[in-house]
Chain A
Amino acid sequence: MNKGGALLAYVTRLGDNALVLGQRMVELVAAYPELEEELANANFALDYIGQARMFYTYAGELEGKGRGEDDFAFLRDENEFRNFLLLEQPNGHFGDSIAKLVLFEVFYLAQLEAMTKCADTRVAEIAARAEKEIRYHLRHNTQWLVRLGDGTEESHGRVQQSVDDLWRYTGEMFTADEVDTIIEKAYEGPNLESIRERWQADIEAILINATLTWPEDAWMAAGGKAGRHSEHLGYMIAEMQYLQRTHPGANW
């Protein structure tokens, strides 16, 4: 893979992560038990959709075949999406959503911080903007994880189960493939090993605060970054793409 191809793949993957997580959060719109959290979730979902748009638009320009953000979001098949398996997992209950967000956003914030020093200025600019959004998300979601973990016996037990269940999807984030390696070497991009160290330290501190236990390290699932997904992504994408597939080019 050449340098340009790696950048295109990397930017597309970032868009996929943001879109798939954003779509999962959109599924929860109008389903929250409290108005204030409802607004927070919708705001956060829109932040992710906005980030996906920036990444996809840039991917379209890098590719140079005239594809725009909508083509990337709505006219690609499941195996062309390169998002983390973690992000496509169904929402489950509130504790599952919070655990998923904290596990991902501690990684994502570190990734974005590193990307602000990327040699590709456009990537650095998008990262600088997204970093501020994610810093706030993480603050909000970390507080919730601590509240649930250090809350009642029931909330503690349920959110510990959420962390345990999602743990197997976290390994993939730190496994560098060819794209990650080229981005790091040729574009001064993130080093996944140092992000892993920081992630482990930050997550450990959060879990201690939340009186939760570090899950046993066991088998880790992988494949999202290579387009091999769990059975959940297909359904999600089918719903998300329905309108554009049924009425190609629909607009308002």
Chain B
Amino acid sequence: MVTSTISSFAAVATAATVSPGLDLEASFTDVMQGLGLSAGAARLLWLPLPMLLVLVAAVVGVLVSVWLERKISAAVQQRIGPEYAGALGVLQPIADGLKLVFKEDIIPARADGLLFTIGPVLVVIPVILSWLVVPFGQHLVISNVGIGIFLWISLSSIQPIGLLMSGYASNNKYSLLGGLRAAAQSISYEIPLALAVLAVVMMSNSLSTVDIVDQQTGAGILSWNIWRQPVGFLIFWICALAECERLPFDLPEAEEELVAGYQTEYSGMKFALFYLGSYINLVLSALLVSVLYLGGWGFPVPVEWLAGAIGQSVDAPVVQVITGATGIVMTVLKAYLLVFLAILLRWTTPRVRIDQLLDLGWKFLLPIALVNLLVTAALKLAFPMAFGG
């Protein structure tokens, strides 16, 4: 991944001034202050760097997922898939994107032009903004804000507004029904999702994503939350698929019924924005599953043991750089394992009906998630050591 390479370059560049836990910002600030800048100016210079890096990572992540989607779909159906654009067709997603940039942007004559344009923008912005809280390492996060995961949940609740807006503005029956379905589906799965997250939050005593991962370190793979929250993991994953409108929950754009749902009238870049948004959301959800349940950047075997085995201190600069780099690789690897799972699910499960979808959300997942939360609280009272004190 591009991120991992760039970050490890940066890590090597600053390895001389490494502080505990590989804090690139502190190192950068030190270097800048060494050049005679004030602390505020150094921070201002630092701020855009991780943001642009994460943005590039998100876009590359989308390109990789699109390529994976095409290749894996082809493999499932015993086809070859894209093969001419670059080796193994790796350039195919870029070709897709470029094609959409050069497509004419059609606004239907009877549509509401303003809302028609704002709709896709409103869908994309919260999804990108949510990457603010995705940690790739102890300090490898744009901003470790205190409300962390809650920020993601509240930002993702803006999305239905954008979907309703584009569905309404298209002035097309398919679009309107698709937009309404999308909004109804999104709100139906938000509550179980939030309750599943709450159970994890309760174990880590913090909303911050970095704290949530920190709480899962210590015994390697055994300390990951998935063992303590198996039900929560399943609820979260189902809800995340539903929020991303992936099969088996892709009713808003069920092509046999609604043509393409709220995207029906869209073309060119606005259509591409919907696609970008949905794939960024998929990668983001996979990353958050890995952060919440699969130990984030944690290595399956505790780094302390490995460092001890080769006779190095954990705080040695080389070990820290290697740990940081493997952390990024681990996070991305876990996330892409889940993306792979989502793509496989797409070709192995039939689409649910709208009544089944709502029943699953309200009559099954919601009660289960409430019970899961209360059981977690009870277990935390009974065994405080095993559930985060």
Q: Do A and B bind each other?
A: no
Q: List chain B positions with a Cβ less than 8 A from chain A.
A: none
Q: List chain A positions with a Cβ less than 8 A from chain B.
A: none
